Amino acid sequence: MRPACAGLLALALLAIAAPAIAAPATASPQGTRALHEVIFREPYRGAWKRLTAPVVVANRWLKGARGIWRPARSVTVDAERFKVFFLCRVNACAANRISVIFAPDGHHAYGALRTAAGTQLLGAPNDDTRRALLKVLNEDKPHE
């Protein structure tokens, strides 16, 4: 095969595969098990960045959701089913953890963050969302 034909063939194969690669960009996090699987897709990436912006400088482990995760838990908040995602810092899980819920459209996130300074709520969750976040945040820590 001539180099020009090989290049055209590769380009054609890429064009065929591109729609399949791009398709899950707006997929719901509801079938996802871990936070790091969600935050690399829009609109969840933007919601995660906005949620963690006030605390990420002091908690670098939140950048890119690096840490130990536990499978997402299904909860009911305001009569709707949501996934609550959990992440904690490697080798410091007890005092460095976050639980997160994304709005159904993925453009907003709510979180509960525990650090040595205490627990703070992020994203202004309502009372039901706050209870769900704190319940997951306070569960036994995953194995480090």
| The pLDDT value given to residue 123 | 97
Q: What is the pLDDT along the chain (144 residues), one digit of tens a residue?
A: 554 444 433 333 333 333 332 233 344 566 668 898 899 999 999 999 999 999 999 999 999 898 999 989 999 888 888 999 999 999 999 999 999 999 989 999 999 999 999 999 999 999 999 999 999 999 865 554
Nearest 5°: the CA angle 41, 106, 90 is 60
| The pLDDT value given to residue 30 | 61
pTM for this one? 0.75
Cα end-to-end span (Å), the chain: 53
Residue 133, CA distances (Å) to 2, 57, 71, 99 in order: 59, 22, 14, 6
| The pLDDT value given to residue 10 | 38
**Hey, which residues does 68 pair with through a beta bridge?**
88
Question: Which residue matches tokens 């979180």?
Answer: 111
Pairing of strands 68-77, 109-115: unpaired
* Tokens, residue 53: 């912006």
Which CATH superfamily includes the segment(s) 25-137?
Inhibitor of vertebrate lysozyme (3.40.1420.10)
